[in-house]
Chain A
């Protein structure tokens, strides 16, 4: 006969790999008692982090929001409330004027934000296409844990060196006199060096994907490694094809990792401006460069408006990623 167990005894909590049985009730009770009696109040544990975040994140953020409403003057700003900075962000000269070159064209700052977003999405897609199979291979095909770890570290090797070295390394690869052009010429595919690879959208996308792909390999690898192999076996025993196993079990269970990886990528790529300079030869504007250009000539309110818009875009992006995958539920 089944006994009614205390509710928590039935619950399982998930460990890093597979589910673990919940500890017996008396242990929990004992632990809870100890905690109440001796342990430091949890509030104290989060205090340093909270304080740090408040001083170095929340306060500056409030500052940015406040400054965006101040009036810019030559050489700074005055605390006079104005909406002109936001107006300037959206306003475009000659928007409705059919004679004007800007007829029905959106403000350049919106367009720039959109360009930044477009590159971000493209690179995220490339990263996913490259990153998922790598993570899949590591987690599913490599059986030995030691090898898994070793190969995962190999995938990380480029990240042992600085970001800028990795970006600059593309120049001798893709340039007019670069390795890639030499190879194609030796193979007789092209007869004179192509300038298509470097300082182009192609080179830029490739470089960004290489620079950031590990950010999504990690989380996807961990969520794949967590999948209980017995479930896969059970599915196969019941006659599921490899594709069915992937579609019905592996893919849904790896989505939290994908979502986390995509959030990492999204946030990093939206704020990106250095790679555009090095690999794209500055031939595009990102919202990051706009902020820098206005900051450099002391128009802080307008730089602040651009920063706020970038933040809003990031928040909306993250919100949508989380709408697709409910990470909390999945974990």
Chain B
């Protein structure tokens, strides 16, 4: 029981990691990038190719892939998001969905239906574990991913609060025109924010590849996990995202014990329950106060 609780919390770290970029982008640009999961899977494949073809360990591979992801983020904002947002708030949804379809199917065209994993390329890390008091073992990789998630979420928070670019990002998010009056180039700032978001997507892709397997169409599921974690935690809040990821993962590991399909069902169900609760709990509380 305690064991599965701990495993669940650690898995929540992965969800928080993949959700961090999604909720960062949402809080800054008010855009939900539907290609978010597909781009994480793309990063996974890039690391896979580097490891398989050139023998580069995924950890060194990140030194190449993260800048590539940042560049993709910059270009994505410049050529897709910025342009489509000017045509209305709904158009980025359509554009990024189209992009996701293109990325998924290009990956399928290139890599076929086989599932891939980075696990063979990270040495003993894929099965190393720490022993906790009470004879409980936790996977070292899961712990590292959790720590990465905390560092990324904390880093984003610090970046927004204390750096010049963070202030520029917040100002642009608040009111791009007024930010422009005091000399902030909102297009550049948003492109930098998108680049930062895509760096976290690269990290999430690495975590996905190391802890599990993925295939060309895995992006959709990853997007849903990221979205659920972000919504459960309260979209836009940094530490809420971590809690959201943990709640999602705990629900999934609880569901998995009931039925083989329970893992996914419980995850989606907890998301809907949170949505329902958001609507009806405030009303209930209000009614009780009046009574």
Q: Do A and B come from one complex?
A: no
